[in-house]
Amino acid sequence: EIWFLCRFYDAQEALDMGLVNTVVPLEKLEAETIQWCREMLANSPLAIRCLKAALNADCDGQAGLQELAG
How does residue 60 score in pLDDT terms, banded at 50, 70 and 90?
confident
3-state SS of 11-34? HHHHHHCCCCCCCCCHHHHHHHHH
Q: Is residue 13 part of a domain?
A: no
Domain that holds residue 44: 25-70
The answer to whether the CB of 13 falls within 8 A of the CB of 2 is no
Cα distances (Å, whole numbers) of residue 44 to 17, 18, 21: 30, 27, 22
Does residue 60 lie within any of the structural domains? yes
1 has pLDDT over 90: no
Contact 11, 20 (CB under 8 A): yes
pLDDT tens digit string along 34-59? 999 999 999 999 999 988 888 888 77
Nearest to 57, CA basis, from 44, 48, 66: 66
Could you tell me the pTM of the whole model? 0.62
Total of domains in the chain: 1
